[in-house]
Amino acid sequence: MLFFTIFFIISFPKKTHRKTNIPPPPPNLVSRGRAYNAHRQTNKQTETPPRAKMKSRPTNILPAVPFLLLLFLSPPSPATGAAADASVYQSFLRCLETNTAPEDKISDLVYSPTNRTFNSVLQAYIRNSRLNTSSTPKPSIIITPTKIPHIQAAVLCTKAAGYQLKTRSGGHDYEGLSYVSDSPFFILDMFNFRSIEIDAAAKSGWVQAGATLGELYYRIWQKSNVLGFPAGICPTVGVGGHLSGAGYGNLLRKYGLSTDNVVDAQIVDVNGKLLDRASMGEDLFWAIRGGGGASFGVIIAYKIVLVPVPETVTVFRVEKYLEQNATDMAYQWQLVAPKTTKDLFMRMLLQPVSSKTKKGETTVRASVLAEYLGNADSLVALLGKEFPELGLKKEDCLEMSWIQSVLWWGLDNETNPAVLLSRQPESVNFGKRKSDYVQNPIPKASLEWIWKKMIESGKTGFVFNPYGGAMDEVPATETPFPHRAGNLYKIQYSISWKEAGVEAEKKYLGQIRRIYSYMTPFVSKNPRSAYLNYRDLDIGIVQPASKNSFDEGKVYGGKYFNGNFERLVKVKTAVDPHNFFWNEQSIPVLPSVLKFGSKH
């Protein structure tokens, strides 16, 4: 430890404070959300530009040498569920104050468990009650930066303190890896970084990591009703996590993934440097567009390309039950949805429900929800030929603007786009999600067997998301996200419940895991692939302080990234060789580097 302390001091010159031209966000923060999820598996501003004017070689913000030495010679408190040791908090605060401007009053942005508002700040962006219990590990400190120098200082001071740093943008990580850890940790909460600048004439925009998808859609709509962005349907999802994990939505088949439409980015790296695409290089820029930004640094903002949408789009929802030939519809959906015009996105939901015709019995409901970039007449004619099993009628269809379709998908009966600015989700339950990819149509007989298992197993639902279109046109190596041509559709397995307690959790986790096991014959193999943004610790984790983190990382990394995993490891090793930006499913460093003192 003493060697590393001396090395750290020698390696960095005396700090110089660097100001950026990014105005702080407005003080009146939008209402925050309630509680969210995550379960640990130990076994397996106003609209001001978010860009900073950067020099060709971005500078560092560095802690004072005597204080760093003090921090390194004073080991951190091991407790994660209790109040942070007062000396650690005070030392960390002094480090931040040393490396930020006095007028910033950084102490107002740092919370420990002794602060009255600590719990409200922590819980504001927890979106899964499964990881919001009395036994859930809590952070020792929460930092809520308002300026880039605050983030630069937080990275260096956390590293000096020997703690893990979790970066949270919207809190929607299904396993809570942005705000929970079994190791002593701090949270860097990005909710103040929500500036959005839209240039409709250039069809582009800069959006900061703490903004939500709803806020992004609203700001686009304010500037144009014929521009959109291909991202998810949940308006409270944070941009930082969504885009760095690939991101997708109803424009997937037309315009590809969210990250396919990113052309620049800002990131603070492990050395506290602020980098853009030019200064970070193409390898790191490649990695943070689908490889998970939290493995490589702190994402500040993304520059996105806006895409054209028509003045009128059409949506519909058609439901059938097993007794209404839902099996025929579900089978044909597999043949049509990935192959039809790329202007049409048809998602299918499958859910065990009470039968309407047989009292006391359970059936399966199949629902097809769709968005078409065109009018209802042409859509009905198209599906009348391609998908008669659906039985679509014009009265099933609704014509509306693209922004109204955003509300239709994500907020049901809402009609005022301003609701997209709300950060409070409609409800927060306990939940678990898993994912798969299907490369060949599942036969009808097998679908009928799956319905039986769904009914037997409880309440797990399926969401089938079709690929094809633009997803077939982009090479698998273009970004870290590899699941493109050759995949018909992606499955999300979903289970939610309201009952608290260990027994309820055990019951419902058992249900979704059984269904996942039953689906093995019908999904991708070698590896059985998964989607990073549908985080699932069941498929593998890396243990803290593991000497085999590369081998452990290959297990889940191969599922998330297939053949792109090794390139991600090389990038990680180059930009964060001591694995500071670590979590239970982060990109590991090469084994040879671990021999020289990686902290994790």
Catalytic residues: 534
3-state helix, strand, coil in the chain (%, to 5): 35, 20, 45
Exposure on the CB side of residue 266, measured as CA atoms within 13 A: 24
Q: Which amino acid is at 245?
A: G
Which of 105, 87, 94, 86 lies closest to 64 in space, CA to CA? 94
**Count of beta carbons in the 10 Å neighbourhood of residue 502:** 9
What is the spatial distance between Cα 330 and Cα 337, in angstroms, rounded to a whole number? Answer: 10
Spatial distance between the Cα atoms of 330 and 115, rounded to a whole number of angstroms: 53
The torsion of the CA quartet 501, 78, 36, 536, rounded to 10 degrees, works out to -90
State the Cα–Cα distance between residues 68 and 34, nearest whole angstrom. 37
Alpha-carbon gap, residue 600 to 580, rounded angstroms: 8
SS3 83: coil
301: left (phi over 0), alpha (psi -120 to 50) or beta: beta
SS3 at position 160: helix
DSSP string, 388-447: GGG---GGGEEEE-HHHHHHHHHHTT---GGGGG--S-S---EEEEEEEEE-SPPPHHHH
Residue pair 348/367 in contact by the 8 Å Cβ criterion: yes
Bridging pattern class, strands 185-189 and 141-143: parallel
CA angle, residues 349, 351, 356, in degrees to nearest 5: 120
- Rg (Cα) of the chain, in Å, rounded? 24
Structure tokens at 244: 């760095």
Give the residue from 489, 487, 486, 507 showing the smallest Cα distance to 498.
507
Find residue 494's DSSP bridge partners: 433, 461
